[in-house]
C-alpha cells in the first residue's frame, strides 16, 4: 500500500484498476508485469519493432521516389539498428528476466545505445545520438499507441494514470469505464482539470512520480476531494472510502431536491446561478442541476478536443445547439482563448518561451483574423435563434476591446450584405482577468455591455503564479488580499455604470469563495454544473448581511492564509456537509 499526494481538481472518490498512459518523449518508469503477462510483453516489443521497420521502409521508398536514393540513405541506419539482434536480443531478454514492460525495456535499451554513441571520441558516432533517440521515440509510439487504443475497449472500471493528459485525450475516454484520472503535471485550473470537472469524474493532478509507483491492473483509489491517491489500498481503507462514497451519494440526492427551487437568500436577495460549459452536450446537466443558463461557453474546447480546426459551419452547429437546448435562457459565448496551450504551441515553428505572457487569447485572435472572423460569423448566425452574448477574453487595454468590437461590426456588415440573419443588438462584453483591466474597470465599463470576472487568470497574473504549474500550486490562491481588492473595485465600477457583472472562474464554484463574492456585491455566479446544487444550498442558507460582514472582515486581513482559514470557517458553519471528509486545514 502506498499513499501519494497531489492536487484535488475534480471532486469525488473513484475505486478501480490502474491504466497507465505513457509519453514516449519522457523517461519511461520501470514497471513490472505478472509472470503470466511476460510472453505478451515480449510479443508486444517484437510487434512494435516490426511495425517500425515497415514504417521506415515505406518512408525510405517514398523519399527515394521524391528526393532520390542518396536522400533515402538516411533511413538505412535506423533500419540497420532494428535488424541488429545485439539491440533487440537484450531488450527481449530483459523482459524475460526482470518481468518489465515492453516500453521500459525498449527505452532502457535505446538509452544505453545512445550513451555508448555519446561516449565515443569520433564525432561521426556522437552525431548518431539523435538518430537513436528518434528511433526510440518511433518504437515507443507504436507500443504506447497500441496500449492507449485499449482505452476504447475497456471492460473494467479504470483509473487513467499519466504524466499529463490533453483535453482531446480526456474527451476520448470511454465514460462508461474510465472513472477517474491522475496526472503528474497540472494545477487546479489547467485545461485538463477543467475538463475533468466537466466530465464529472474524480481527478487528481500534480501527483509527482505517480507513474513510477503504479502498474497496469493494480488496485487504486483516487480522492478528488483531498488530492490523495492510494495504490494497493488495504481492506480497511477500501471500507472507509466506500462509506464516504455512500455519504456523497446521499448528499447529491438531497441537493437534487433544490434544482427547481429559486436561488434566493433567506432575506430575499436573488443570486443568479449559471453554468460553465466546454461542449454543447453539457447543457442538459446544467439545467438538471438548476442552472439558469450558461454564463461561460469556453469555445476553445471545440478546437482542443478535435483533430482539426472546426469550420464555420461546425462551430455554428455547436452554438445553435446550445441556443436551442437553453430554450430562451441566456448563453454567453467567450471567443477563443487559445495560445497558452499545446494545441497552438505545437503548430508554431518556434514555440513561445513563455506563452502565458505571449500571443494568447484575444491577441492570438487579432493576429489570426480569418480564424477569428469564422468564429464570429458562426456566433452571430446562432444569435438569430435566441438570446446570446459575445464575450472577449484577456482584454488588457481599451485598444484591444475596440479592435475586437470593430472586427465584430465588420463581420456584422458582411452578414448583412449576404442576407444572413443575426441579432444586430447582440450584447458584447469582456472578461476581466488581468490587473490592468481590473484597475481600468471604470474606463471599460463605458464601452462594454457587461463584465465577467475570470478568477483563474486574474489570480495567475496578479500573483505571478503559473496556474498550470504543480510546483507553485500552493501559491495560487483566489483568497489573496490583492485579488480581493481588485474584484471589489471591478464590482464597484460595474455598479457605478449600471452594467451586469458575473464571476465565472473556478472560485465561483467553491463554497467559501462564493460567500466572499456575494458579500463583495456579485449577484451572478457561473460554475461547473456539478457545483450548482451546492451553491444553491449555500445561497438559500444565508442572509446577504452575513455575506457582507464576512467579506468586510476578509478584506481587512493581510494574508491569503488568514483569508482562506477565515472563509472556510465561515462556510463550514453555514453548510457543514460541503466539507464532510475534508480536513480542517485543507
**CA distance to 228, 282, 410, per residue, from 314 (Å):** 40, 17, 21
Burial of 168 (0-12, 13-18, 19+ CB in 10 A): middle
Tell me which residues are annotated as active site: 191, 504
Residue labelled with grid coordinates 466506500: 242
Q: Who contacts 240 (Cβ-Cβ below 8 Å, separation ≥6)? A: none
- Grid coordinates 471545440 are at which residue? 302
Q: What is the pLDDT along the chain (586 residues), one digit of tens a residue?
A: 889 999 998 889 999 999 988 877 678 888 888 899 999 999 999 999 999 999 899 988 888 888 788 777 878 888 888 888 888 899 999 999 999 999 999 999 998 988 888 888 777 667 778 888 888 889 998 998 877 777 777 778 899 999 888 777 787 787 788 999 999 988 887 778 888 888 888 999 999 889 888 888 889 999 998 999 999 999 999 999 999 999 888 888 888 889 999 999 999 999 999 999 999 999 999 999 999 999 999 999 898 888 788 999 999 999 999 999 999 999 999 999 987 765 566 666 577 777 778 888 999 999 999 999 999 999 999 999 999 999 999 999 999 999 999 999 999 999 999 999 999 999 999 999 999 999 999 999 999 999 999 999 999 999 999 887 878 888 999 999 999 999 999 999 999 999 999 999 899 999 999 999 999 999 999 999 989 999 999 999 999 999 999 999 999 999 999 999 999 999 988 888 766 545 444 4
Among residues 480, 402, 392, which one has the least CA distance to residue 433? Answer: 392
DSSP character at residue 100: B
Instruction: Let me know: does 385 contact 323? Beta carbons within 8 Å.
Output: yes
Nearest to 20 by CA among 31, 8, 34: 31
What grid cell was written down for 213? 509507483
Residue 448, helix vs strand vs coil: coil
Of 304, 306, 315, nearest to 345 (Cα)? 304
Angle value at C-alpha 358, between 352 and 361, nearest 5 degrees: 120
Q: How far is CA 136 from CA 23, 90, 108, 129, in A?
A: 12, 15, 10, 11
In DSSP terms, 294 is beta-bridged to 275, 331
Distance between CA atoms of 334 and 430, rounded to whole angstroms? Answer: 8
pTM exceeds 0.75, yes or no: yes
Alpha helices (H) in 289-368, listed in sequence order = 301-304, 312-326, 342-345, 361-366
Q: What structural domains does the chain harbor?
A: 2-24+157-250 (3.50.30.10), 35-150 (1.10.274.10), 257-345+357-577 (3.20.20.60)
- Is the Cβ–Cβ distance between 294 and 322 less than 8 Å? yes
| Cβ pair 387, 422 in contact under 8 A | no
Q: How many residues does the chain have?
A: 586
Amino acid at each position: 500500500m502506498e499513499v501519494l499526494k497531489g492536487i484535488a481538481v475534480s471532486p469525488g472518490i473513484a475505486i478501480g484498476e490502474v491504466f497507465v498512459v505513457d509519453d514516449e518523449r519522457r523517461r519511461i518508469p520501470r514497471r513490472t508485469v505478472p509472470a503470466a503477462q511476460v510472453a505478451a510483453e515480449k510479443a508486444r516489443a517484437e510487434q512494435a519493432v516490426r511495425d517500425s521497420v515497415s514504417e521506415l521502409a515505406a518512408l525510405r521508398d517514398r523519399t527515394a521516389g521524391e528526393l532520390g536514393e542518396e536522400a533515402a540513405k538516411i533511413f538505412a541506419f535506423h533500419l540497420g539498428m532494428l535488424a541488429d539482434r545485439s539491440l533487440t536480443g537484450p531488450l527481449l531478454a530483459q523482459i524475460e528476466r526482470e518481468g518489465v514492460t515492453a516500453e521500459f525495456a525498449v527505452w532502457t535499451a535505446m538509452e544505453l545505445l545512445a550513451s555508448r554513441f555519446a561516449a565515443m571520441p569520433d564525432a561521426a558516432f556522437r552525431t548518431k545520438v539523435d538518430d537513436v533517440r528518434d528511433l526510440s521515440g518511433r518504437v515507443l509510439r507504436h507500443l504506447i499507441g497500441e496500449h492507449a487504443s485499449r482505452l476504447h475497449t475497456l471492460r473494467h472500471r479504470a483509473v487513467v494514470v499519466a504524466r499529463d493528459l490533453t483535453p482531446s485525450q480526456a474527451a476520448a475516454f470511454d465514460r462508461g469505464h474510465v472513472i477517474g484520472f491522475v496526472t503528474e503535471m497540472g494545477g487546479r485550473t489547467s485545461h485538463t482539470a477543467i475538463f475533468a470537472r466537466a466530465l464529472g469524474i474524480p481527478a487528481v493532478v500534480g501527483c509527482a512520480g505517480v507513474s513510477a509507483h503504479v502498474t497496469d491492473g493494480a488496485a487504486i483509489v483516487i480522492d478528488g476531494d483531498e488530492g490523495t491517491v492510494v495504490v494497493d489500498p488495504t481492506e480497511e481503507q477500501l471500507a472507509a472510502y466506500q462509506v464516504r462514497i455512500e455519504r456523497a451519494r446521499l448528499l447529491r440526492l438531497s441537493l437534487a431536491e433544490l434544482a427547481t427551487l429559486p436561488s434566493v437568500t433567506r432575506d430575499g436577495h436573488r443570486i443568479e446561478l449559471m453554468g460553465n460549459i466546454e461542449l454543447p452536450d453539457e447543457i442538459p446537466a446544467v439545467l438538471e442541476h438548476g442552472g439558469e443558463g450558461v454564463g461561460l461557453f469556453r469555445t476553445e474546447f471545440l478546437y482542443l478536443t478535435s483533430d482539426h480546426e472546426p469550420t464555420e459551419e461546425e462551430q455554428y452547429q455547436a452554438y445553435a445547439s446550445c441556443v436551442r437546448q437553453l430554450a430562451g435562457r441566456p448563453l454567453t459565448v467567450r471567443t477563443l482563448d487559445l495560445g497558452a496551450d499545446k494545441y497552438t504551441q505545437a503548430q508554431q515553428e518556434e514555440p513561445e518561451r513563455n506563452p502565458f505572457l505571449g500571443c494568447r487569447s484575444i491577441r492570438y485572435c487579432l493576429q489570426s483574423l480569418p480564424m477569428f472572423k469564422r468564429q464570429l460569423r458562426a456566433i452571430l448566425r446562432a444569435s438569430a435563434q435566441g438570446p446570446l452574448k459575445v464575450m472577449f477574453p484577456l482584454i488588457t487595454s481599451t485598444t484591444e476591446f475596440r479592435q475586437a468590437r470593430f472586427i465584430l461590426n465588420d463581420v456584422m456588415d458582411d452578414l448583412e450584405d449576404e442576407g444572413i440573419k443575426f441579432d444586430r443588438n447582440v450584447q458584447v462584453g469582456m472578461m476581466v482577468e488581468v490587473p490592468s483591466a481590473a484597475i481600468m474597470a471604470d474606463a471599460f465599463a463605458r464601452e462594454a455591455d457587461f463584465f465577467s470576472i475570470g478568477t483563474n487568470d486574474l489570480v495567475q497574473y496578479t500573483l505571478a503564479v503559473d496556474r498550470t504549474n504543480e510546483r507553485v500550486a500552493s501559491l495560487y490562491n483566489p483568497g489573496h488580499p490583492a485579488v480581493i481588492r481588485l474584484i471589489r473595485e471591478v464590482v464597484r465600477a460595474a455598479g457605478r455604470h449600471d452594467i451586469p457583472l458575473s464571476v465565472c472562474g473556478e472560485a465561483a464554484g467553491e463554497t467559501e469563495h462564493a460567500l466572499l463574492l456575494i458579500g463583495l456585491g456579485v449577484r451572478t455566479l457561473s460554475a461547473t454544473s456539478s457545483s450548482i446544487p451546492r451553491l444553491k444550498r449555500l445561497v438559500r442558507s444565508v442572509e446577504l448581511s452575513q455575506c457582507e460582514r464576512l467579506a468586510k472582515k476578509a478584506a481587512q486581513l493581510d494574508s491569503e492564509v488568514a483569508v482562506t482559514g477565515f472563509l472556510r470557517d465561515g462556510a463550514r458553519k453555514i453548510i457543514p456537509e460541503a466539507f464532510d471528509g475534508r480536513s480542517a486545514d485543507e
